[in-house]
Amino acid sequence: MKTNQNSKVITERSLSADFVVVGGGLSGLCAAVAAARHGVSVVLIQDRPMLGGNASSECRMGIMGAKGDNNKETGLLEEVQLDNIYRNPLMRYTLWDDAMLNLVISEPNITLLLNTSVHDVKTENNAITTVKAWNCNEYCEYTVSGKLFADCSGDGILRLSGAEFRIGREDAKEFGEHCLHEGNDDKTMGNSILLQLRRCTEHRPFIPPPWALKFTDEDFVVPESEKKDGLIHSFKRLYPDNNNFWWIEYGGNIDTIADAGDIQRKLKAIAYGVWDYMKNHPDGRCKDYELDWIGSLPGKRESTRFVGDYMLSQNDIMNNVHFPDVVAYGGWTLDDHHPDAFFRKGFLSTHDKAPSPFDIPYRCLYSKNIENLLFAGRNISCTHLGMSATRVMATCALLGQAVGTAAAVALHHGTTPRGVYEKHIAELQTILEDDDVMLPGRWRAVSPMTASAATTCPNLQNGIDRFWNNDDNGCWLEPQESVEYTWDTPQTISSCRFIFDTELSTQGKRMRKLEALPDYKPMPPVLTRDFHIDAFVNGEWKTVATAKENFHRLLRLSFPTVSTTRLRFVLDQSWGAPKAHLFAWDVL
């Protein structure tokens, strides 16, 4: 038996890894998985009981990203979304949490610590050596050492290392940002708590808690001048249809980290007050809806930004500057929320339309003064206005995948994050493209064996893995139809890489604003479900590989080595459409 005389109350454990990732939102999740898949040992530290951050069931913020049908983010984000639809076709948020969990725990190179908060950082010679973290469920103090560290926490807790950072809005003159109408202060965008509604067949009353705020029509009047000023604004929407309630926002005039508790309680009071106003309004606008869910943990837009070797600004984005070290892209608007947020009479945010996609350079993803610190998410090196366009979660997922891949490249070459920029940026970009990340201004190079083949569908050899500028860039096949590669001399082949069409022009894979809907989200119908690969050997076709129940966009398939001058891809079945669509088939 354990007693106070023979056992400790506090457990102490030590861990070490090549790469330590702090923060398990989409950026940290993608950073950890990308590094692990390239052979790196990883410890992923997340302070919540589930992964996903703002995208999780705790917050339920929308996964937004680059505007435009053909600009959807792929890579690991697309993989986890497809996995979610396959296993969670009713799009339940708790199962979405576990789709993200599955992506991490399927990687043997990752040690995952949930419910664990970093509170101390040790450095030597301008490099982090260890972090200390507290697990509130285990009553355990973890000491985690590593070679490289990534801060994907959003709030930048690894600033404890002495890394340079900024909080607030720059003076407009510093970077010549004419869209920044106010600045030179420590104000930020606020946090939000969301509501989710359910359609109902009969009216049910709503009685708010006594501490809910009370609102009247007068609280939501918009000055006519703001409706007609020629700018694109977002306002409060006091009607239920297609409403994600992002505008229940507060905290930009105080400290979104230090005052988080007060902000959380205030947002609850606002949220219940808003629903009271809407549900019990005399015009009956919400008679067919009831409150299905209300958030407890606010989603945060802004707190801290690290300073890297480069700071992305409004002008970089609006001028669509192409960076030789591009490793990710954005395409959201410059979406600058007013710090007064919900309590402002009038607009809450201003949208300045940005080019989509726009480059995000690698130099924004590592610290200027801490040699082994990378970062991804809303805390990258940019101005306040730059962050207003890069903070959305699909963009953050790309940033995380870039950082995790960069860590793998750095560790492989025994260099620093800055060393990757100086000597290995082309390698990093090639790996990202091979892992199905589009980089603006360039297209993926197909394998030499693929490029040298004669084929019945040249689109498969152009390295453009999506519809682009109204060009198809793919191959349509009915069941039992095939596409063939041929060579003049025998080729030794042992694997293939495919990019299938998962309908990037639709929003169907992203979690929704109304959870309790009756509709079923199937897999993209044009996605290839079953296929086989045949090689022409000794005068006849021989099946060398078969794939069943595919639900991925990127698929790598290995098989026993074969020598042949002819190889064919044969479609067996799509996920429901008369034809399946294939963007890329690389032979290796």
pLDDT band at 522 (very low <50, low <70, confident <90, very high): confident
Please indicate whether residue 203 or residue 491 has the higher confidence score (pLDDT): 491
Q: SS3 sequence, 240-307?
A: CCCCCCCCCEECCCCCCCCCHHHHHHHHHHHHHHHHHHHHCCCCCCCCCEEEEEECCCCEECCCCEEC
Secondary-structure class of domain 448-587 per CATH:
mainly beta
Q: What pLDDT does residue 105 have?
A: 98
pLDDT at position 517 is 62
- d(C-alpha 405, C-alpha 148), whole Å: 12
pLDDT at 520 over 90: no
Mean pLDDT of 347-367: 96
Fold annotation for 11-166+356-434: FAD/NAD(P)-binding domain (3.50.50)
- Radius of gyration (Cα) for the chain, nearest Å? 25
**Stretch 130-159: mean pLDDT:** 98
As given in the structure block, the two tokens for residue 449 are 């064996």
Q: What is the pLDDT of residues 40-51, one digit of tens each?
A: 999 999 999 999
> What local confidence, expressed as pLDDT, does residue 54 receive?
97
pLDDT above 90 as % of the chain: 90
pLDDT of 230 above 80 = no
Which tokens in the block code for residue 218? 């007068």
| Average pLDDT score over residue span 332-359 | 95
Burial (Cβ within 10 Å: 0-12, 13-18, ≥19) of residue 314: buried
Structure token pair of residue 403: 């950082």
Q: Kindly state the average pLDDT of the residues 462-471.
A: 96
> Quick one: pLDDT at residue 392?
98
The secondary structure element, H or E, covering residue 395 is: helix 393-413
pLDDT at residue number 508:
76
Q: Where are the beta strands (DSSP E) in 48-175?
A: 110-113, 116-124, 127-135, 140-151, 165-166
**What are phi and psi for residue 556, nearest 5 degrees?**
-110, 130
89-93, 321-325, 463-467: least confident range: 89-93
Residues 6 or more apart in contact with residue 299 via CB below 8 angstroms: 54, 59, 60, 61, 191, 192, 193, 194
Q: How confident is the model at residue 515, as a pLDDT?
A: 61
Binned at pLDDT 50, 70 and 90, residue 271 comes out as very high
What is the structure's pLDDT at 518?
Answer: 62
The pLDDT, as a whole number, for residue 129 is 98
In the predicted structure, residue 507 carries a pLDDT above the cut 90: no
Instruction: Say whether pTM exceeds 0.95.
Output: yes
> What number is the average pLDDT over the span 241-262?
95
Closest listed residue to residue 457, CA positions, set 474, 433, 444: 474
Strand spans (E) along 295-410: 299-300, 305-306, 326-330, 334-337, 349-352, 358-361, 373-375
Whether 228 has a pLDDT exceeding 80, the answer reads no
pLDDT of residue 201: 86
- pLDDT bin (cut points 50, 70, 90) of residue 202 is confident
Residue 516 reports pLDDT greater than 60: no
Q: How crowded is the C-beta side of 365, counted as CA atoms within 13 Å?
A: 37
Q: List the alpha helices (DSSP H) in 88-227.
A: 93-105, 172-175, 224-227
Q: Are 277 and 238 in contact (CB under 8 A)?
A: yes
Cross-strand bridge partners of residue 306:
165
Which tens digit of pLDDT belongs to each residue from 209-225?
999 999 999 999 988 88
- What pLDDT is recorded for position 180? 82
pLDDT tier for residue 203 given thresholds of 50, 70 and 90: confident
Q: Domain segments of the chain: what residues? A: 11-166+356-434, 191-300, 448-587
243 confidence band (pLDDT: 50, 70, 90): confident
Q: Is the pLDDT of residue 241 over 90?
A: no
For 400-458, write each residue's pLDDT tens digit: 999 999 999 999 999 999 999 999 999 999 999 999 999 999 999 999 999 999 999 99
Determine the 3-state secondary structure of 159 from DSSP: helix
- Given a cut of 90, whether residue 176 has pLDDT beyond it is yes
Report the half-sphere exposure of 94 (CA within 13 A, side-chain side).
2
54-69 pLDDT tens trace: 999 999 999 999 999 8
pLDDT for 396 beyond 80: yes
> Which residues sit opposite 587 in a β-bridge?
496
Dihedral sign computed on CA atoms, order 562, 566, 567, 571: negative
* pLDDT greater than 80 at residue 512: no
Q: How far apart, in whole angstroms, are the C-alpha atoms of residue 161 and residue 569?
A: 52
What average pLDDT does the structure give for the chain? 95
Instruction: State yes or no: pLDDT of 282 exceeds 60.
Output: yes
Q: How confident is the model at residue 181 (pLDDT cuts 50, 70, 90)?
A: confident
d(CA 349, CA 476): 43
